[in-house]
Amino acid sequence: MNHMSTVDLLQEPLALADDERQPCEVWTRVMGYHRPYSSFNTGKKGEFSERVYFKECKVDLT
């Protein structure tokens, strides 16, 4: 078994040229199913862009 004992940190941020990049497929949950955004029709893409996300606050139990 191999054990990683050292951590090498990058001195500079990693940068890729446009021709080295690949597309990232975004999936989302719609009506209980996970679907790729790329398969949405025009109406569903509009609904997706209008979604409002929220962050639930931590409850103080003391």
Confidence of residue 9 (pLDDT cuts 50, 70, 90): confident
Q: What is the pLDDT of residue 6?
A: 81
What is the predicted pLDDT for the residue at 15? 86
pLDDT digits (tens, 9 = 90+) for 18-43: 999 998 999 988 778 899 999 999 99
At 1 the pLDDT is 59
Exposure string of 12-49, with b = 16+ CB inside 10 Å and e = fewer, is eeeeeeeeeeeeeeeeeeeeeeeeeeeebeeeeeeeee
* pLDDT range class, residue 5, cuts 50, 70, 90: confident
Please count the helices (runs of H) and the strands (runs of E) in the chain: 1, 2
Asked if 37 contacts 48 with a C-beta cutoff of 8 angstroms, the reply is yes
